[in-house]
């Protein structure tokens, strides 16, 4: 039997990440953690989040669109037109990032496929069209977000044959059982309208799979106030859209 934890979309929120990892470490029964991208962007705690993740030896990480957009700026490459409204914000993130993390981010894959206890699992940030598999982030390779439903997800991932597809990108929690595939998005760990960080626990044994949606409660007051203290670009929009105006 194997037990996995799935986290995604930390978005520079270190206290939320630490709350989840504290719960996981206390359990002592989680064999591996999969982080599904967008570690940075939106929240200001880039260095702390990346330090925590890269220091662990039980965590596999893939990149998301925010990670790759910041990388494009760091490497002097073309920046995605679709992200033009947040370019100033991404530059602010990059200007404050420890440069030692750039090559580490650059080496991360976009997808991971593992067979665990006889079951095939795809870990990705969101659907990549086959024709865009290796395209640079400036070409906007990630598919447009679909409204959460089993029908929409089966259409989106119609060419996949995995038993379980884990993804993020779209911040609401999604858990659907299709005809042959289970679709799981534990929800954005770092962006919520309440002081709670969602994640998922998957227990796998031969021909069996159990999924539990969890959330770690934490004090997010200081984190939310840091947007103003640090003059984060776009903070009013971010606090409203991604954190539900929890502070006024």
> Residue 168's pLDDT is what?
98
Helix (H) or strand (E) holding 35: strand 32-35
pLDDT < 70 regions, the chain: 248
> Residue 248's pLDDT is what?
63
Give all strands of the β-sheet with 164-166 in edge-to-edge order. Answer: 111-116, 119-124, 164-166, 182-185, 174-177
Cα–Cα dist 66/169, whole Å = 10
Tens digit of each residue's pLDDT (9 = 90 or more) over 146-191 = 999 999 999 999 999 999 999 999 999 999 999 999 999 999 999 9
* Apex 72 CA angle, 174 and 9, nearest 5: 20
* Region at 91 (left for phi over 0; alpha for psi -120 to 50; beta for the rest): alpha
Tens digit of each residue's pLDDT (9 = 90 or more) over 218-242 = 999 999 999 999 999 999 999 999 9
**Cβ atoms 215, 74 nearer than 8 A:** no
């Amino acid at each position: 039997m194997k037990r996995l934890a799935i986290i995604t979309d930390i978005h520079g929120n270190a206290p939320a990440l630490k709350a989840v990892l504290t719960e996981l470490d206390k359990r002592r029964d989680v064999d591996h953690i999969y982080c599904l991208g967008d570690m940075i962007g939106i929240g200001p705690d880039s260095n702390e989040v990346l330090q925590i993740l890269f220091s662990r030896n039980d965590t596999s990480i893939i990149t998301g669109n925010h990670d790759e957009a910041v990388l494009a700026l760091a490497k002097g490459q073309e920046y995605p037109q679709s992200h033009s409204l947040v370019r100033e914000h991404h530059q602010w993130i990059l200007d404050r990032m420890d440069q030692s993390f750039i090559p580490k981010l650059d080496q991360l894959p976009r997808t991971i496929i593992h067979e665990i206890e006889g079951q095939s699992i795809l870990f990705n940030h969101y659907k990549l069209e086959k024709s865009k598999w290796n395209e640079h982030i400036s070409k906007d390779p990630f598919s447009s977000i679909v409204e959460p439903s089993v029908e929409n997800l089966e259409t989106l991932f119609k060419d996949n044959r995995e038993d379980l597809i884990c993804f993020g990108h779209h911040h609401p929690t999604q858990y659907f059982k299709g005809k042959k595939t289970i679709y799981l998005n534990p929800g954005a760990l770092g962006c919520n309208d309440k002081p709670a960080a969602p994640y998922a626990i998957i227990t796998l044994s031969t021909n069996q799979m159990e999924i539990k949606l969890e959330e770690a409660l934490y004090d997010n007051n200081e984190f939310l106030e840091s947007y103003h203290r640090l003059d984060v670009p776009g903070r009013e929009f971010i606090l409203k859209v991604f954190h539900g105006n929890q502070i006024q």
